[in-house]
A = this chain, B = another copy of it.
């Protein structure tokens, strides 16, 4: 078949279902939400490790890997892309920018779902509307169940007491504006697929157990 015949020839695409069959799993976004310092990254990394060790194809999306590329701030875009792009497309922390940040992450999550990957996202994502849109975008091309919302429900006092990055201290001192929980709201999920109450006593392993059990019983992972 030569390229010149592609007017009448429909290329055979590999489907999502075929990719999933190869990997032995269903593409899913596990969307962790909660305050800064609530344990999202810790849970994301341990969850990925558990899944990887059992042979699953996985990815974690977090600030570390999206803020340097997909959702880079204006000053980073400036270097390579020039002023116009930096100003228009770079993402800071305004309401619009946060919304676009979550939208791009959800759009990428949807592509990873199409690739059949179990993808864990770890972002504060404080607004219900943004999370609702993320769910809509991710489940649009697929099926209900592709988006699993996990509320890491660590009380503010606990997060602030830990303050592992020193951010709460800076937020209280007014050095960081629009800090979720201090000067900006956090809107807790009303009906997350998984609710992880965390009062200092929930071991990470138990949190990961709950998520893995959920994914298994929902048919996203093969039963072991």
Which residues of A are at the interface with B, using a C-beta cutoff of 8 A?
A: 1-4, 6-7, 9, 11-14, 18-19, 22-23, 38-39, 41-43, 45-46, 48-49, 52, 55, 57-61, 65-66, 68-70, 72, 77, 80-81, 84-85, 88-89, 96, 99-100, 103-104, 106-108, 110-112, 114-117, 133, 136-137, 141, 154, 158, 162, 164, 198, 200-205, 207
B19 pairs with A111, CB closer than 8 A: no
**What is the copy number of this chain in the assembly?**
2
A6 pairs with B164, CB closer than 8 A: yes
Report the nearest B residue to A71, measured CB to CB. B107
Given contacts A65-B114, A80-B136, A89-B89, 4 further A-B contacts (CB under 8 A): A6-B162, A18-B52, A81-B99, A88-B100
How many angstroms from the CA of A150 to the CA of B116 in the assembled complex? 25
A3 pairs with B111, CB closer than 8 A: no
- Least Cβ distance of A108 to chain B in Å? 6
Assess A203 versus B100: contact at CB under 8 Å? Given A12-B49, A69-B107, A111-B61.
Answer: no
- Least Cβ distance of A43 to chain B in Å? 8
A100 pairs with B112, CB closer than 8 A: no
B2 pairs with A65, CB closer than 8 A: no
Assess A204 versus B3: contact at CB under 8 Å? Given A52-B22, A111-B70.
Answer: yes
A52 pairs with B19, CB closer than 8 A: yes
Cross-chain contact of A65 among B1, B111, B204 (Cβ < 8 A) = B111
Cross-chain contact of A108 among B43, B48, B111, B207 (Cβ < 8 A) = B111
